[in-house]
Each structure stands twice: as C-alpha cells, then as structure tokens.
Amino acid sequence: MHRNAEEIRRQVAIAEEQTFLDTALTRRDRVAANLAERAEQAATDDDGDLTRRRMLQRQYEEIRQTESGFVFGRLDGLDGTVRHIGRVGLRDEDVQADPLVVDWRAPAARPFYTATAIDPQGQARRRHVRTSGAVVTGVDDEPLDGTAASDLVGEGALLSALDQRRTGRMATAISTLQHEQDDIIRADATGPLIVQGGPGTGKTVVALHRVAYLLFTHGQMAEQAVLVLGPSPRFLDYIAQVLPALGETAVVSATCDTLVPGATVERAEDRRISEIKGRALWQPALEAYVRALLPPVRDLGLRWEGEAYVLDAQAVADALASATAGRSYHRARQAFAEHLHQLLADAVAEQREALLQQMEEGFEDILARFDRRAEPQATATGSDVDGLMSDEEIEELRERIAGSATIARFVETWWPTRDPEAMLRRLLGDRALLRRFAPALSAEEVTLVSATAALPWASSDIPLFDAVVDLLGDRPAAAPHGASVAERARKDRAWVYGHVVIDEAQELSDMQWHMVLRRCPSRSITAVGDIDQTEASHRHTSWTQAVQATLGERWTAAELTICYRTPREVMELTGPVLAKAGSLNTPPRAVRSTGITPWKLTVTPGELLDTATATVESLRQRWVGGTVGVVASAAYAEELAAVLDDVPVLTATQAKGLEWDATLVVDPDGITAEPRGWNGLYIALTRCTQELGRLQVAPQGPEHIEVRADVPWAVRT
C-alpha cells in the first residue's frame, strides 16, 4: 500500500513537471524563432549594428543548444514561490511576471546548488527533474526541512548521473553541481584563482561551468572571448561539447603547444632539457637579449636631395628613449622612424634657413635694389617671402621623407627587422650569448640547450618562441571580415582575453605561465589541477612553487575535497601511492561505492598481448553501452595499441583528465619506474568510474595469481 502511494505521488509529480515542460518548450521555440528572424533582418541591414547582430545570433545559438535538459530543477520556497531552473533563462509572455525559467547562472538559482537542511536559504524543497528530449522521465525530491540529511546536493540525482555509462565525451553537470563546486564557479574573477582537486572531484566540470557563469555575469567577456587551455588535443576533444551545450561560443580552446599561430611542435625532447627551457630565468634573459638588438646611439649621417645632414647623438638618444618606452622591438622601430622623419625634416629646414641667412649677409644691397624695382605681386607666404619654411611646408617635407625608399633602406640597415625564429635559434645555438644573457645556466646546461638550436620545435621551445615574438612585436594575421570573436582571437597571437581557464594547470612550466599572462594581463585566471598528478619535467611539487615565479603572492587558493567519480574501492588503493609520490595533500573523500573490488592479474611478457585482448573484450561485454580504456607503461603502450585498435591505449600522461567506466592498467610497476612514476600510477588508477583491473608483468613468470569468479580469463590450469 505504501509503495503504491509513493508511486502515485511520483507519477503526479512527473505529470506536473511534464505540463510545465510543455509550456516552457513552446515558449522557448517562439523566442528562438523571433531571435532568428531578428538576426536575419539585422544581417540584411546595410547600416546594421555588427555588435547587435552578434548579440542576437549568440542569444539564438544559446537557446538552440538547449534541446537536452532544458529544464532540470525546481525550487519550492517557504513562502510558496516556485522557481524552475534551466539551462538558459526564459521570460514569460507577460513581461511583468517572474521568469518562466531561471537561468542556472542567475543569483536566484544559487540555492538550488547551495541550500541544505541546516541552511535552507528560504527553500522548502529542491526537485531534480530528469528528462529525455521533451519527455520528463523522473523526479527526485529533496526536502530542506531537516527530514533528510546528506552532505550532497541532490544525492539521488547525483549518484544516478555518476552511475550512467560513459560515452567518451564529457557532458554538462549543471543539474548536479555540488556546494563546493558552485562556490568556485561563482567566485570573483578579479585575480588568479588556483583550485586544487584530486581525481574525480569535478575540476574540469567546475572550470567549464565557470566559463559559462562568467560569460553570463560579465557581458564584456563575450566581446573579449575566454581562453580554455587543456593538456592535450584528446582532452579538448573530450570536453568539446560542454560549452556549446551551455550556449557559449565566445571561447577559444587550445593547448600550450597550439597556442601560437604558425608554431608547430614536431619532436619530443629529453625531460632534462625540457625542464631547463621551462625555467623562469628565460623571460628576463630574452628581454635582455632583444634589448641588445637595439641600435647603438651615435651621430647619424643621411642624404636628402643631394645634400648631407647629420643628426647628432643626443637627438638620436632622445628619439630612441621616446620610441622604446613600453614598446616591442618592431613597434619601437616604427616609432623611431617617425621621429627620424621629423628630425630630418627639421634639419633640412634649419640648414635651408642658415644658407639663406648667409646669402642675405653677402647680397643685402643687391636684394634691396631688386626689391625697390620689383612690381607689387600677389601676397605670398612661407619661403616665397623670406626663405623660411612654414609649418605646412615642413609637414609636407616630412611626408615626402616618410615615403622615401632611400630613407626606408637607411632605417632597415641601421635598425633591421628581425625574424623571431631566427633570433631565438641564434641565441639557443650560441654558447657565448647563452652565457651572457642566461648566466644562471651551468656550462653543462648551456651545452645541452645549444645542441637543440637547429632541431625542429619541441614543446618547451614554444613558450620561448612566444616570448621572442612578443618582444619583437610581429604583426598578427588578419581574421576574415565578419568573423566571430572566437575566430578573431584564435588568429591573433596578441589577442587580450577577458578570462583564461587552465585545466591540468600543475603541468605548466614557468615559461608557459608567462604565455598565459601575456594573453590576460588583467590576471583574470582560473587554474584547476591536482599537484599530485604532476608529470611535467619541472620540479614543482606544490602550487606555491608552481606559480611563485609568475604570480608571486597575488593569487587565491581553493580546494575541491570530495571525489564523485572514482569509486571508494579504488581510492582506498591510492594512499600508499601518494605517499611514495611525496604528496603532502589529503586525498579527496570518495562518496560512492560500486561494490567492485579492484583486481589484479600477473602475466609474463609473452602472455601480455593475448591476455590484454581477452581482458578488454570481457570488460567491454560487461560494460555494454559504456567505455573501456587502457593505461599502460610507455614500454608496452605502442604494441598494445597495435592489437587493441578498438579501445584507447594511452600512457598515464596521455590519460590525464579522461575517464572510462572500466580501466585496465597494464604494467603498473613499469609506470612507477618512469619519471614521476608514482604520480603517473596515481593518474592511471583513478580513471575509472566503475571497475579497475591491473595486469602486472613479471618477466620470470607469476609467483601469485589472484583469481576472481567473474574474471574467467584469470583462471589458469
């Protein structure tokens, strides 16, 4: 009887939400059609406002992306008010009425993520609404009057979402965001925010939803665009659907390797050399190197229309000081050329005036008699009267000088244009220059760096190249007319972004951090990562070390403490691994259990490929509709990838940030033997949402085999 009553209440609630969803979808479609019509009309207006057209198009795209999960929540206030929460805000046809749907980013929606039984924030109940397209499939009600106690917001909806099969693409999580995640998403964007979070804490979810929140809250960011930096192209592909699904298009996604137009990484590099090139010392070294390229102060001799002119060293020094103040090499060169044109024009005028004065002193009588006999003429000005050039004539002369090919060749010879790649390779390949501009490098380090100067670019070269391009000031490529903000930003190396989000930020070297700051001088930055998952070649083992050289003390720390993705059974394995990695952090607390104990199988190298193939096939059958991933040591990754062509086979570094329903870790001992190997094993173990298996490789044969009844390939005769 009780069960029937509960089922009736559930069906009534579903019907209630279905009625509301039907109304909301009808209204949404009308609004979308209106926006499309207005955007099309604005595009045909000859005198139309480009900003307005883009705004209308953006609003239309935002609504168009809401086919799934348009309405996902509801708040019932203690005062009887009802608010439905959705992916975008939607006004009622009666503009005086409350919004039909409240945007999840709006302040009015925040209690949906933060209200608890202890602090209900004026709410009596929170309801999670599950939908499939235009159909309501279920509801989860959460009383906020103290009758239900949990430290998770919408525990039923959250655990249901976490238990769903993985598709290989990250989905939005706006319906299941938790309190500590929401706090970070809505934090002020006035300076760098560094978020520490262990595996499964939702770092990436937080970072991407923060982008959507900031673009919604700070409209000017949409005109500046937001840069999202990820660790790899595979990772960017994994998250590619999240921001468009949230209606955000003013976003440029890149890795540090792809951030500079025209620069391509073509080779891997030794970890030691990579660490050397990533150090903060290169920024002042490159600045000093480019300053040394400036021409020396001296007298400059030029010719104009057959006459010789000398610009004295003091005038040249003053022009140099004015031109170089706060400018890059090439912009300073342009500014100096303009000074030079004016100095030469003034010199020509002064020399002409001096010659005329000399002539007048010798021929005063002749000129006087000539003037008395001359007939009155029309009024004349400037040099026609007294030989002195007027301001207009001097300006005309300056313009002719500026257009002179001869003067341009002189400037090019004295202050040549520079190619950034050639300049960087010259520095890296010249040991004397390295000792001069980077004295902190040891003799051995100088030798190691100089040996790479003529090689194709490695990842560690890109930040150095970016710094030289910035210091020289090369002109960016022009984006096509009418291009979106994101397209223009992507093509312009010097674009200044409104905000930068960095995922897996613990991997960035000091010089990569400088790349970020050049693109966001306001330091409006959100960086998320796990310092315990660091695999980069640099020596940073804490966030303070990681950002000290670039951010100093001017950053705010935040932490995600709850692991939602990785099962409790797996997280229990990570304590000893973290200890051997030298971690000083407390691992996140896992809130879910799958009941599946991580298992291990030991094989010989000769058995590995066949066993891995059988194991993966069994995992795929057990997790039909989900995903299986293999994380292997570098020693076996390539040959495993050759036989397991239907599942991803990655090293621990490549697997960073990814997740699968089931993960098979191959050769965990081999992973720990790699540089920062215990950190790598920590990554490998924590990629699964359901099941973890390990294949140990024992060259002398297995001494002990763990057998599970549901893992038939582990049984041996």
As a whole number of angstroms, the distance between CA 127 and CA 19 comes to: 15
DSSP 458: B
Q: Is 176 annotated as a binding residue?
A: no
Q: Is 277 annotated as a binding residue?
A: no
Cα–Cα nearest to 479, from 257, 252, 258, 263:
252
Q: Is 203 annotated as a binding residue?
A: yes
Q: Burial, 231: exposed, middle or buried (Cβ in 10 Å; 0-12, 13-18, 19+)? A: buried
Q: Where are the beta strands (DSSP E) in 250-332?
A: 251-254, 300-304, 307-311
The alpha carbon dihedral of 378, 379, 382, 385 has a sign of: positive
Q: Is 201 annotated as a binding residue?
A: yes
**Residue 452 structure tokens:** 């790479």
Rounded to an integer, what is the distance from CA 127 to the centroid of its chain?
34
As a whole number of angstroms, the distance between CA 579 and CA 489 comes to: 43
The alpha carbon dihedral of 317, 320, 324, 330 has a sign of: negative
As a whole number of angstroms, the distance between CA 499 and CA 591 comes to: 32
Longest C-alpha distance within the chain, in Å? 131
| Whether 697 contacts 668, CB under 8 Å | no
**Residue 540 structure tokens:** 């940073």
In this structure, what are the phi and psi dihedrals at residue 150, rounded to the nearest 5 degrees? -160, 150
**How many CB atoms within 10 Å of residue 35?**
20
Q: Is 306 annotated as a binding residue?
A: no
Euclidean distance between the first and the last CA atom of the chain, given in angstroms as a whole number: 54
Rg for the chain (alpha carbons), in Å? 34
Length of the chain: 717
Q: Is 69 annotated as a binding residue?
A: no
Contacts 24+ apart (CB under 8 A), 391-400: 393/349, 394/345, 394/346, 394/349, 395/345, 397/345, 397/348, 397/349, 398/341, 398/342, 398/344, 398/345
559: CB partners within 8 A, 6+ apart: 195, 196, 197
**How many CB atoms within 10 Å of residue 136?**
20
How many angstroms separate the Cα of 8 from the Cα of each of 12, 77, 637? 6, 23, 54
Residues making up the binding site for ATP: 197-204
Residues making up the binding site: 197-204
